[in-house]
């Protein structure tokens, strides 16, 4: 058991006796009766019926537990089964082909894989330094009074539905990008080829930025949890050796927490890879591989959102489901990796990870 839970347990144990109704035999008067024997005599002599009810209850709960396993099994089964046609038609070439032509039944997923990877990577590049900055500020520098509201506000960002992010991105972010940011980047960094072309706003860059805004709460809240479990004496030791505050943070705090921070980053990546609505609304939805971030792109999740309900033909549908299967496998690997990393540091699952 980790520290959090132990402390919480102690808190619970202390407060529990304050509720007399829990300790009194009142619950026995509830309307759910075990059977006449349990009510009639103070000492239940029909151990058999109690055991029977117990085993039924355990069985029911087991069914619920099994249905969690079953759901995952069902997801894998359905995805594998229904992507079979596409796998037979294209084999591994599906993932390296870059033609996406429903009319002539030619399907290659490379533009979508590229779009997912680039937009998520871009989001990480923007979000990681900002999230770590926010986490460091809240745990190490912030006046105590500000700490609560600050984490509350950052977590509020996580509660906004992604379609609302998309709405905001279309009408606020994209115009700002096309009027100010993209022309500026084009002028100053256009030579690199990454910021080239007409500044329409709807672009890979817009998708990366909105994804970054969406994953900052995840990365920063996990980083904050991880920084909080770094032992205080590490900080004191660094300060005693004459470190400045930043040196203390770098040597005493960040270095100790790096595995957990890495876990938070990867968890953010997992979210970014699977994020659908906001990206679909601003990325432009064109299955091209372009070097410039100003060009429109397409992601695996977006193509599912846009084309799945209109897919005609079995091979088309099957190809889309194969993209879904690929997305599923990638996010599972990424999430499992992240959890292992976070577990090694905090000893439990980060509670707000997917909130």
The only residue of 32, 104, 232, 312 in contact with other proteins, by rule CB under 8 A: 32
| Shortest Å, Cβ 196 to other proteins | 26
274 binds other proteins (CB under 8 A): yes
Whose Cβ is closer to other proteins: residue 71's or residue 344's?
71
Dihedral class, residue 225 (left if φ above 0, else alpha if ψ from -120 to 50, else beta): alpha
Phi, psi of 44 (to 5 degrees): -65, 120
Enter the tokens of residue 14. 């202390």
| Shortest Å, Cβ 61 to other proteins | 4
Total residues at the site for other proteins (CB under 8 A)? 110
| Shortest Å, Cβ 294 to other proteins | 20
Site for other proteins in 46-105 (CB under 8 A): 50, 53-54, 56-58, 60-65, 67-69, 71-72, 74-75, 78-79, 82
CA 113 – CA 97 distance, rounded (Å): 11
Whose Cβ is closer to other proteins: residue 59's or residue 92's?
59
Site for other proteins in 330-349 (CB under 8 A): 331-332, 334-336, 339, 349
Enter the tokens of residue 328. 């599923």
Fill in the per-residue mask, 170 to 189: x = in contact with other proteins (CB under 8 A), - = not in contact. xxx-----------------
On whether the CB atoms of residues 111 and 289 are closer than 8 A, the answer is yes
Q: Give the 3-state secondary structure of residue 101.
A: strand
Tokens 């894998």 appear where?
A: 76
Q: How far is CA 110 from CA 107, 219, 258, 281, in A?
A: 9, 28, 33, 20
In DSSP notation, 143-155 reads -HHHHHHHHHHHH
Stretch that binds other proteins, among 36-44, 104-112, 186-194, 227-235 (CB under 8 A): 36-44
Whose Cβ is closer to other proteins: residue 104's or residue 310's?
310
Q: Exposed, middle or buried, 302 (CB in 10 Å: 0-12/13-18/19+)? A: buried
40 binds other proteins (CB under 8 A): no
Q: How many residues does the chain have?
A: 355
258 binds other proteins (CB under 8 A): no
Whose Cβ is closer to other proteins: residue 108's or residue 350's?
350
CA 20 – CA 30 distance, rounded (Å): 16
On whether the CB atoms of residues 327 and 75 are closer than 8 A, the answer is no
Fill in the per-residue mask, 301 to 320: x = in contact with other proteins (CB under 8 A), - = not in contact. x--xx--xx----------x
CA 178 – CA 226 distance, rounded (Å): 38
The only residue of 80, 228, 259, 277 in contact with other proteins, by rule CB under 8 A: 277
| Shortest Å, Cβ 62 to other proteins | 6
| Shortest Å, Cβ 92 to other proteins | 21
The only residue of 18, 20, 91, 144 in contact with other proteins, by rule CB under 8 A: 18
241 binds other proteins (CB under 8 A): no
């Amino acid at each position: 058991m980790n520290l959090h839970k132990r402390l919480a347990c102690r808190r619970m144990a202390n407060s529990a006796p304050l509720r007399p109704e829990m300790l009194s035999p009142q619950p026995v008067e509830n309307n759910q009766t075990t059977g006449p024997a349990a009510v009639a005599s103070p000492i239940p002599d029909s151990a058999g019926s109690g055991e029977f009810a117990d085993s039924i209850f355990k069985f029911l709960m087991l069914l619920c537990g099994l249905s969690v396993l079953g759901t995952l099994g069902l997801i894998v089964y359905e995805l594998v089964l229904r992507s079979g046609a596409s796998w037979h038609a294209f084999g591994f070439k599906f993932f390296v082909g870059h033609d996406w032509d429903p009319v002539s039944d030619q399907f290659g997923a490379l533009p979508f894989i590229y779009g997912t990877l680039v937009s998520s990577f871009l989001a990480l590049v923007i979000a990681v330094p900002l999230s770590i900055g926010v986490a460091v500020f809240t745990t190490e520098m912030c006046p105590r009074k500000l700490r609560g509201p600050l984490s509350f506000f950052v977590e509020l960002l996580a509660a906004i539905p992604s379609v609302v992010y998309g709405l905001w991105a279309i009408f606020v972010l994209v115009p700002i990008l096309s009027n100010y940011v993209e022309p500026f980047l084009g002028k100053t960094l256009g030579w690199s080829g990454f910021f080239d072309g007409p500044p329409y706003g709807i672009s890979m860059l817009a998708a990366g930025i909105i994804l970054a805004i969406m994953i900052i709460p995840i990365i920063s809240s996990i980083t904050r949890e991880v920084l909080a479990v770094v032992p205080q004496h590490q900080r004191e030791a660094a300060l005693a050796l004459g470190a400045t505050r930043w040196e203390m943070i770098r040597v005493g705090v960040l270095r100790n927490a790096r595995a957990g921070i890495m876990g938070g980053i990867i968890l953010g990546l997992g979210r970014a890879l699977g994020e659908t609505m906001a990206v679909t609304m601003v990325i432009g939805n064109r299955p091209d591989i372009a070097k410039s971030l100003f060009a429109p792109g397409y992601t695996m999740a977006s193509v599912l959102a846009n084309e799945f309900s209109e897919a005609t033909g079995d091979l088309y549908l099957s190809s889309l489901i194969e993209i879904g299967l690929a997305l599923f496998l990638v996010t599972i690997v990424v999430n499992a990796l992240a959890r292992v990393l976070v577990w090694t540091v905090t000893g439990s699952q980060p509670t707000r990870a997917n909130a």
